[in-house]
Amino acid sequence: MAGAAIELRAVTKRFATPNGGIYTALHDLTMEVAPGEFCAVVGPTGCGKSTTLALISGLERPSAGEVAVMGKPVNGIPDGIGYVFQTDAVFPWKSVLENVAAGPRYRGTPGGEARAQAREWISRVGLAGFEDRYPHQLSGGMRKRVGLAQSLINGPRILLMDEPFSALDVQTRTLMENELLALWSSTSASVVFVTHDLEEAIALADRVVLLTAGPGTVKGTFEVDLPRPRNVAEIRFQPRFAQIYEAIWNQLRDEVLVSYERQKHAAAV
Amino acid sequence: MSVRSTLPPSSVGVQGPHPGPPPQAGEGNRLDAALTARRSRTARRRRLMIYALRLAFAVVWLGSWELTTRLNWVDPFFVGQPSGVVVRLWTWVTDGTALGPLWLQAAVTMEEAVLGFVVGSALGIVLGILLGRVELIAEVLSPFIKGANAIPRVVLGSLFAIMFGLSVWGKASTAVVLVFFVVFFNAFQGVREVDRNLIANARILGADNRRLTAEIIIPSAMSWILASLHISFGLAIVGAVVGELFGATAGLGQLIYNAGHTFDVNGVFAGMFVLAVLALIAEGLITALENRLIKWRPSRVSGEIPI
């Protein structure tokens, strides 16, 4: 695909383990994400989903293979990247306003202007009135909104999301998923959304990339041809949703079993 | 779409520190008020009980001490006597000490301790953060620092007495070496313990190294650093008092040694009492500073004991 937003070509990533061994997280992984595409990455526990994001963001370097963002090889953190982390990564000593204003300030916007932009984004994610709160005074869902605003304010062309909603309760989660779709549709950003939840992946994405149990490589990709705009809470009642779910699950099931057997084995040793 | 966003800011402002349901009129409010009142009554009663028990503890402790020495079960010459301590304190306040007015002795020791505390913690914070950030320096210096930490540093007091003579720096330097290591190790550890996620997030958001240190590393390590300051002011006083042992003409330490050499046990206790009062005041100031600097942290759980 010409002009892909993200390209991973035959990427392998190995880590040294504390006891001197080598752990291969990804093996010969090749995938692409088109500009403006919402791509979900699913796979069993420990298949290297988060590692994929770390490679795209430049936080980690591949042991072999190539990673390119916007046609340029990744060397350090590429321009136009946003990252929403699995655990809270908002700064606990900064107020909501300062948290959201951090990105523009780090990129050279004067403080006053950065804060004005931040106020706008805070109200866009539904947190108007909470500008002066500290993160510990907010609920988990509200902290996620802060994290989202913190990333989106930089106008990323690529948004990486690492199981961002996995710690939320089901209702808050559905709410946040809908809001994410609404925010995303007003941008032209590509999204790579990592999750272990297949329903979430199908409800949100244009395309689902299925990884094998570690070391991860692409087992299959599945187009999700459900119409947009979508309502995450209701889309799962559509017959097409069930068909796609079944098709992916048939492949995912084997990988989950492999991963489960391995964990059982590791626990027994 | 969001429940929160429908709340006007004014109603948000009146909520407690934790986001709760929007305040309701009438019944709910009255119930809330009654509950709050009852809770604060319980808390007040508990506080009064704690004060009463503290008083009782002091009475039993000092009373038994006074009584056993009065009845000559123990010789007050060796263990002193609370009433004797009070008398000694009173004469110090009214007539001055053998070394001059009491406030002057206190001021001299405090000057040494505060100087040592400020210099020692500043050095500890700066070097702790530097070594925490720059792996190479940390690896090169680590055996030297560990070695220096292992020696009983108070003996350096004699060295400083030679180097600085009777000046304030002879004692302050002893306080510096005691304070430095505690603060240094905490600052170092604090830097090492910074959440990797926060660092990754800041880098993605575009923070350069300077911003990363100033806005992520230092605030995060601040809890560790402030915790060490509590301990280290006590150590600064130890340093000042020990320093006075190696040569001084004034100060509470000197006053205590003088009392010791003249077999004035009550004088020793009286000097210790003044030191304890000063240390408690300093502790209060540090706690106030801490609350100011890390107001972003969840407030103390009421059950926690502020020691």
Query: Angle formed by the axes of helices B196-205 and A140-152, to 10°?
Result: 30
Q: Is the peptide bond before A215 cis (omega within 30 degrees of 0)?
A: yes
What per-residue confidence (pLDDT) applies to B154? Answer: 81
Computed on alpha carbons and rounded to an integer, the radius of gyration of chain A in Å comes to 19
Is A119 touching B (CB cutoff 8 A)? no
| Strands A38-42 vs A6-16: parallel, antiparallel or unpaired | unpaired
Contact A77 B12 (CB under 8 A): no
Closest CA to A101 of A64, A29, A149, A55: A149
Same domain, A72 and A172: yes
Domain boundary among A155, A174, A202: A155
Is pLDDT larger for residue B302 or for residue A167? A167
Contact A106 B198 (CB under 8 A): no
What per-residue confidence (pLDDT) applies to B9? Answer: 37
Scanning A31-70 for CB atoms below 8 A from B yields 57, 59
Contact A179 B1 (CB under 8 A): yes
Distance (Å) from the alpha carbon of A251 to chain B's nearest alpha carbon: 32
What per-residue confidence (pLDDT) applies to A1? Answer: 45
Residue B105, both tokens? 């002795």
The pLDDT of residue B299 is above 90: no
Question: Which pLDDT tens digit goes with each residue over B191-226?
Answer: 999 999 999 999 999 999 999 999 999 999 998 999
* Number of domains chain A contains: 2
What per-residue confidence (pLDDT) applies to B26? Answer: 55
Same domain, A199 and A149: no
Distance (Å) from the alpha carbon of B173 to chain A's nearest alpha carbon: 34
Amino acid letter for position B148: A
Same domain, A53 and A183: yes
Residue at A89 is within a domain: no
Closest CA to B23 of B34, B14, B33: B14
What per-residue confidence (pLDDT) applies to B30? Answer: 74
Residue with tokens 């009782």: B56
For residue A13, the SS3 value is: strand
Residue A17, both tokens? 């383990």
Distance (Å) from the alpha carbon of B294 to chain A's nearest alpha carbon: 7
Question: Which pLDDT tens digit goes with each residue over B12-53?
Answer: 333 334 444 444 445 666 777 788 888 888 899 999 999 999
Question: Which pLDDT tens digit goes with each residue over B83-135?
Answer: 999 999 999 999 888 888 999 999 999 999 999 999 999 999 999 999 999 98
A229 is in which domain, residue-wise?
A: 6-80+158-268
The residue of chain B nearest to residue A103, with distances taken between CA atoms, is B205
pLDDT band at B7 (very low <50, low <70, confident <90, very high): very low
pLDDT band at A269 (very low <50, low <70, confident <90, very high): low
- Which residues of chain B are within 8 Å of residue A145 when distances are taken between CB atoms? 2
Chain B interface mutation, best of A51, A90, A137, highest count of B Cβ atoms under 10 Å: A137
Distance (Å) from the alpha carbon of B219 to chain A's nearest alpha carbon: 7
- Which residues of chain B are within 8 Å of residue A130 when distances are taken between CB atoms? 4, 12
The pLDDT of residue A114 is above 90: yes
Domain boundary among A116, A134, A155: A155
Residue at A88 is within a domain: no
The pLDDT of residue B156 is above 90: no
For residue B69, the SS3 value is: helix
What is d(CA B69, CA B50) in angstroms, rounded to the nearest whole number?
Answer: 29
pTM of the predicted protein model? 0.78
Residue at A70 is within a domain: yes
Is pLDDT larger for residue A29 or for residue B14? A29
Same domain, A29 and A100: no
What per-residue confidence (pLDDT) applies to B175? Answer: 94
What per-residue confidence (pLDDT) applies to B28? Answer: 62
Question: Which pLDDT tens digit goes with each residue over A161-207?
Answer: 999 998 888 888 999 999 999 999 988 899 999 998 999 999 999 99
Distance (Å) from the alpha carbon of B131 to chain A's nearest alpha carbon: 23
Question: Which pLDDT tens digit goes with each residue over A198-236?
Answer: 999 999 999 999 998 878 889 999 999 999 889 998 998
Residue at A122 is within a domain: yes
Same domain, A119 and A246: no
What per-residue confidence (pLDDT) applies to B298? Answer: 74
What per-residue confidence (pLDDT) applies to B19? Answer: 43
What per-residue confidence (pLDDT) applies to B200? Answer: 93
Contact A129 B206 (CB under 8 A): no
| Strands A207-211 vs A64-69: parallel, antiparallel or unpaired | unpaired
Residue A181: CB partners within 8 Å, gap ≥ 6? A204, A228, A229, A230, A232
Q: Are A245 and A198 in contact (CB under 8 A)?
A: yes
Is B200 touching A (CB cutoff 8 A)? yes
Is pLDDT larger for residue A237 or for residue B98? A237
Contact B207 A85 (CB under 8 A): no
Q: Are A31 and A221 in contact (CB under 8 A)?
A: yes
Is A87 touching B (CB cutoff 8 A)? yes
Scanning B274-303 for CB atoms below 8 A from A yields 294-298
Nearest to B201 among A83, A145, A178 (CB): A83
Residue B134, both tokens? 């720059």
What per-residue confidence (pLDDT) applies to B17? Answer: 42
What per-residue confidence (pLDDT) applies to B3? Answer: 38
Same domain, A124 and A168: no
Contact B7 A129 (CB under 8 A): yes
**Other C-beta atoms within 10 Å of A268: how many?**
6
Contact B200 A103 (CB under 8 A): no
Same domain, A52 and A136: no
The pLDDT of residue B54 is above 90: yes
Closest CA to A30 of A180, A216, A174, A163: A216
Nearest to B9 among A93, A102, A128 (CB): A128
CATH code at A193?
3.40.50.300
Same domain, A233 and A122: no
What per-residue confidence (pLDDT) applies to B22? Answer: 43
Scanning B123-182 for CB atoms below 8 A from A yields none
What per-residue confidence (pLDDT) applies to B10? Answer: 39
Is A127 touching B (CB cutoff 8 A)? yes
Please report, to the nearest 10 degrees, the dihedral formed by the alpha carbons of residues A156, A159, A162, A166 taken in order: 100
Number of H helices, E strands in chain A: 8, 10
Contact B202 A87 (CB under 8 A): no
Q: Are A28 and A66 in contact (CB under 8 A)?
A: no
Residue at A87 is within a domain: no
Chain B interface mutation, best of A106, A146, A159, highest count of B Cβ atoms under 10 Å: A106
The residue of chain A nearest to residue B216, with distances taken between CA atoms, is A91
The residue of chain B nearest to residue A147, with distances taken between CA atoms, is B201
What is d(CA A187, CA A5) in angstroms, rounded to the nearest whole number?
Answer: 14
| Strands A38-42 vs A72-73: parallel, antiparallel or unpaired | unpaired
Task: Using alpha carbons only, give the angle A45, A50, A51 rounded to the nearest 5 degrees.
Answer: 110
Same domain, A74 and A195: yes
Same domain, A182 and A70: yes
Same domain, A149 and A170: no
Nearest to A106 among B8, B19, B211 (CB): B211
What is d(CA B125, CA B239) in angstroms, rounded to the nearest whole number?
Answer: 19
Residue B99: CB partners within 8 Å, gap ≥ 6? B105, B249, B250, B251, B254, B255, B258
The residue of chain A nearest to residue B295, with distances taken between CA atoms, is A93
Distance (Å) from the alpha carbon of B142 to chain A's nearest alpha carbon: 22
- Which residues of chain B are within 8 Å of residue A87 when distances are taken between CB atoms? 197
Scanning A164-183 for CB atoms below 8 A from B yields 175, 178-179, 182
- Which residues of chain B are within 8 Å of residue A129 when distances are taken between CB atoms? 4, 7-9, 12-13
Same domain, A56 and A18: yes
What is the ipTM metric for this complex? 0.88
